């Protein structure tokens, strides 16, 4: 199972976030005492991964509301905090989803109970995420059982970015089937794209799988197609930050070309996520806002005075997705039907 530290820590009603920018060299937590603290940590990717961002946002709203609980302008200040928080990272739908649930808990409570109901809802979101990850893993086991291992008996799996334990609350999404399969004795070999420009695959995914004793090989993003051509990989499993109503997938930049390569070589491409990541308000991927990040992430110390194109996410068309591995089972095409049933 996962052997890494939890990304979001809630102890004695105090919130702290593992600073993932420092991994794997240092494990340190940042205390979140104000909403500004939370927004800064979310924006600078101290906490990242759609489910983990949602959990952090849920608790952060509680931390902030504690400062004005019981005051006459509670609702107004809560609305301001809510709008500021959901603007921190616009692509990850879990942030808005979790913050909305906590805000609604306050709205539906008696004024004197509002803060307690918010905390109760945030803790429920956190607990539900742990359970959802396990169910995602169990759904993934069923599709892994359909694959034919390599000659050496191992299943070769490729993943992109980090949809592991660091991106959620326990087993991860894309990594959940890997952890469960490994625990059952299935021989695996996972290939982790380094995921430029911030190297979440190299710094986080490869590190956490290695910590769990799962054989892992790191590769440059642009080597993925060559690896798939070699026959060493039997399936791709990635996470996602948002799924549109038609099944289009928003995930870390570089996911789309990996899906294209998988389609070319006839390799299954699975997307693992909790049901909270499905966004019925976005009809297609074209409706999903794509965050663009600082040029410094790409240029670094080079200092070249050129324009930089640095989207944090791309859209993988639903036609390239073999199935979704969810907390409610395996969803297969046609996605317009299966996702609609999920929402119902």
Q: How far apart are alpha carbons 299 and 202 in whole angstroms? A: 19
- Residues 6 or more apart whose Cβ sits within 8 Å of residue 162: 48, 49, 195, 200, 201, 204, 205, 208, 239
DSSP sequence for 240-276: -SEE-TTS-EEEETTHHHHHHHHHHHT--EEEE--GG
Length of the chain: 344
Q: How far apart are alpha carbons 133 and 77 in whole angstroms? A: 33
Q: How far apart are alpha carbons 289 and 308 in whole angstroms? A: 19
Which position among 19, 193, 241, 279 bears the catalytic label? 241
- 241 given a catalytic annotation: yes
Looking at the chain, which runs of residues are DSSP E strands?
8-11, 14-18, 29-32, 155-159, 188-193, 216-219, 235-238, 242-243, 249-252, 269-272, 313-316, 323-326, 329-331
- Residues 6 or more apart whose Cβ sits within 8 Å of residue 295: 307, 308, 310
- Cross-sheet strand order for the sheet of 29-32: 8-11, 14-18, 29-32
Q: Are 218 and 206 in contact (CB under 8 A)?
A: yes
Which residues participate in catalysis according to the annotation? 241
């Amino acid at each position: 199972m996962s052997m890494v530290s939890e990304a979001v820590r809630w102890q004695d009603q105090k919130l702290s976030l593992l600073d993932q920018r420092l991994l794997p060299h240092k494990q340190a937590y940042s205390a979140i005492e104000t909403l500004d603290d939370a927004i800064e940590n979310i924006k600078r990717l101290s906490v990242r991964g759609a489910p983990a961002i949602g959990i952090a946002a849920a608790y952060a709203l509680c931390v902030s509301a504690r400062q004005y609980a019981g005051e006459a302008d509670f609702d107004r200040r809560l609305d301001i905090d809510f709008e500021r928080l959901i603007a921190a990272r616009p692509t990850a739908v879990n942030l808005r989803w979790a913050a909305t649930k906590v805000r609604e808990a306050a709205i539906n409570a008696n004024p004197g109970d509002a803060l307690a109901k918010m905390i109760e809802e945030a803790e429920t979101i956190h607990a539900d995420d742990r359970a959802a990850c396990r169910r995602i893993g169990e759904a993934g086991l069923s599709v892994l059982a359909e694959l034919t291992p390599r000659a050496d008996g191992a299943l070769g799996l490729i993943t992109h970015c980090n949809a592991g334990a660091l991106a959620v609350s326990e087993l991860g999404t894309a990594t959940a089937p890997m952890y469960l399969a490994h625990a059952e004795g299935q021989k695996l070999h996972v290939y982790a794209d380094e995921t430029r420009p911030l190297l979440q695959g190299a710094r986080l995914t490869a590190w956490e799988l290695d910590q769990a004793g799962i054989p892992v090989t790191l590769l440059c993003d642009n080597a993925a197609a060559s690896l798939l051509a070699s026959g060493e990989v039997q399936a791709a499993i990635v996470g996602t930050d948002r799924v549109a109503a038609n099944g289009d997938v928003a995930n870390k930049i570089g996911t789309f070309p990996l899906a294209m390569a998988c389609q070319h070589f006839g390799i299954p491409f699975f997307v693992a996520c909790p049901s909270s990541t499905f966004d019925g308000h976005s009809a297609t991927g074209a409706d999903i806002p794509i965050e663009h990040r600082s040029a410094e992430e790409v240029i670094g110390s080079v200092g070249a005075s050129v324009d930089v194109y640095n989207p944090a996410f791309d859209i993988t068309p639903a036609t390239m997705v073999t199935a979704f591995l969810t907390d409610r089972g395996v969803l297969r095409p046609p996605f317009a039907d299966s996702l609609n049933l999920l929402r119902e």
